[in-house]
Chains A and B, each alone.
With several copies, the nearest count.
Chain A
Amino acid sequence: ASAAATTAIAQQREGDPAILELPEHSKGLGKPVVTDGYGKPSQYERNVQRRRSPGLTQTAQASVSFAPLQSLFGIVTPSGLHFERHHQGWWDVDPSKHRLMLNGLLKTPMVFTMDDIMRLPSVSRFHFIECGANTGMEWGNVAVPTCQYTHGMLSCSEFTGVPLITLLEMAGADLKQGRFVLAEGADGSSMTRTIPMSLVKSGEVLVAYGQNGEMLRPENGYPLRLVVPGVQGVSWVKYLRRIELGDQPWATKDEVIHYVDLMPDGTHRQYTSIQECKSVVTTPSGGQVLLDKGHYTITGLAWSGRGKVKRVDVSVDGGRNWRTARLQDPVMSKCLTRFSLDWAWDGKPAIIQSRAIDETGYVQPLKRQLREVRGTRSIYHNNAIQSWLVQESGEVGNVHLA
């Protein structure tokens, strides 16, 4: 004790070496401009990476990588960390040779080059994209340790593109007969999805080339992808090559075999597209360890495929009591919303949860409430409340409650 006291006094007189001994960078000349014409993160950020979940998929080309939500701020996902979902691998497509064709129930089938598309009036909008299978590993039991793996098939970007309705109108679309469009990609899977014309007509569906100020990344569909706000990621067809207008849905593989929700009665819900209101606390979250008692800012993300997030509540006692969190503005439709709440950790076990409510009044359900209706075999669209257990050691774990 006396040795410790002496050290404490010495330290009081002296102080932190990181302050007293000036660092190299305060005493030297740094690196020049344009060391990198296109810069990259600090070497100290090397842990912030997208990652695969071991054993989740059998191949690496029909697979997924998860965004490190536990390390992100605000609502924009850096494009280098955007989650990936490929069905037949990704490509770096030559944009000068890429074409978009429109056919089907329209006066003139048309072809557009990237030059054509980029000359048209565009909009830029912030939207989240979430894979329909996000949190899918967690329908039954706890399967993965961190929010990167529980919720990381989620990203948010500023997308720039042309409303699809503009192109359809140019081609003389039959807006009475035409009730569905087929979107088709140019990759090996030539990914196809049926998109409702009601959403297209609203002007929300974009033929997008821009993401966070630059072009889409190759992993995310460079040079052209469909943006279908509020709808699961697989519908945001990448390497978009064709749009067909029709009077019936297409029943493509990924809407009737793959991204289907198995109900307790043994039927499959097809065309389940909307990502319902959901939220997750990212700090503190599973696989982290708190350094100390005291003040923390609980923070996380909330979103809804039906519009704006209206409110987020946070509980630190496993759902017995809730407080309403602060929402960072601007709160935008079908976009991530960052919430936060002050919390003084007393060093005792705590179970942290968040619950989002959207502008339609829909309340994010408990796991139990979700399972009561949909069972545990649904795979897709698990939007249940997430629980993180903070242990006395400071270690935070992923838990399900019952």
Chain B
Amino acid sequence: QRFPGIGRPATPAEVAAWDIDVRPDFKGLPKGQGSVSQGEKIWETKCASCHGVFGESNEVFNPLVGGTTDDDVRTGRVATLKRNDYPGRTTLMKVAYVSTLWDYINRAMPWNAPKSLTTNEVYAVTAYMLNLARIVPDDFVISDANIAEVQKRMPNRNGMNTSHAMWPGDEFAKGVKPDVKAAACMANCAAETKVASSLPDHARNAHGNLAEQNRLVGPQRGVATTTPPKP
């Protein structure tokens, strides 16, 4: 023992109390089940106030549901994600794994009372959310037994990519080089010196008076944004 007297074994009850994570291969998923209609009731009392009755609200957060099609359910790629003119991105447009939803709802939702749902309630609201996006039918009962089948219908299940140089190890992909390559030109470089974007005048004071966001002494002051710019 390298460090005598430090730390102790965890009891099985202790591990059970905290080991709540659920992986994409469903390791960690507790047994249980919940129907769409059960989920609807829970949703309406415990989730809709923040996320909207159809998961469409963006009052406290991005909409959870919307933007996916039956075709996406078939292909596993959310088509609208390829469109540069479609600004919104709902949770169900992005999420690749049903386990991610289950795990997160189970640990963190409802936001103001996390970990208050029973296992079956988590199954049920998950079913309800999936039903809103027509991933599962109205009479569906999701359970640990059939969740792997549900995974095969996740609309963006094929929309992810882990082959990039921004993971600090070779666990996902080996030898990938950074994707953006720039060179360090020093003189007479081909530069764009035309201003293409700047803060519109009406937004001048949108972050408050910048004169009050800089020190009172120093090489400069904050700009008084309560008055228009000097010529």
Contacts and interface: CB of A to CB of B under 8 A. Distances in A.
User: Do any beta carbons of A and B sit within 8 angstroms of each other in the complex?
Assistant: yes
B222 A47 contact: yes
Interface in B179-231: 179-189, 191-199, 203-204, 206-208, 210, 212-223, 225, 229-231
A157 interface: no
Given A268-B161, A291-B221, A400 B5 contact: no
B3 A252 contact: no
Given A114-B218, A253-B103, A395-B229, A28 B114 contact: yes
Interface stretch (A75-83, A269-277, A325-333): A269-277
Contact of B99 (A61, A251, A270, A313): A251
Contact of B5 (A249, A293, A394): A293
A182 B189 CA distance: 46
B2 interface: yes
Interface in A345-402: 351, 355, 357, 362-366, 368-370, 372-377, 381, 389, 391, 393-402
Contacts, number: 409
B3 A170 contact: yes
B196 to A, nearest CB: 3
Contacts of A101: 10, 14-15, 18-19
Contacts of A19: 10, 14, 17-18
A223 B218 CA distance: 11
Contact of A262 (B24, B77, B81): B81
Interface residues of B, number: 109
Given A145-B207, A322-B187, A395 B230 contact: yes
Contacts of B100: 251-253, 256-257
A375 B212 contact: no
B82 interface: yes
B66 interface: no
Task: State the majority secondary structure of interface residues on B.
Answer: loop
Given A251-B99, A288-B222, A370-B180, A274 B165 contact: yes
Contacts of B181: 363, 365, 369
Nearest to A363: B182
Contacts of A357: 184
Given A28-B113, A144-B207, A257-B95, A319 B15 contact: no
Contact of A29 (B3, B111, B168, B189): B111
Contacts of A311: 184
A133 interface: no
Given A184-B21, A242-B19, A370-B180, A271 B6 contact: no
Contacts of A246: 23, 27
Contacts of B83: 266
A401 B192 contact: yes
A54 B207 CA distance: 6
A257 B230 contact: no
B161 A267 contact: yes
Given A15-B11, A116-B7, A252-B104, A241 B18 contact: yes
B60 interface: yes
Given A248-B24, A266-B81, A256 B96 contact: yes
Contacts of B21: 182, 184, 192, 244, 250, 252
A174 B5 CA distance: 22
Interface in B20-75: 20-21, 23-25, 27, 58-61
Interface string B110-122: 0111111000000
A179 B219 contact: no
Given A48-B215, A230-B168, A251-B23, A242 B183 contact: no
A260 B5 CA distance: 42
B222 A96 contact: no
Given A16-B14, A68-B213, A109-B15, A287 B166 contact: no
Contacts of A396: 220, 223
A68 B171 CA distance: 37
5 contacts: A14-B11, A244-B19, A257-B94, A269-B162, A319-B192
Q: Which 8 A-B pairs have the closest CB atoms?
A: A294-B5, A402-B196, A198-B169, A196-B169, A266-B82, A319-B191, A318-B193, A266-B81
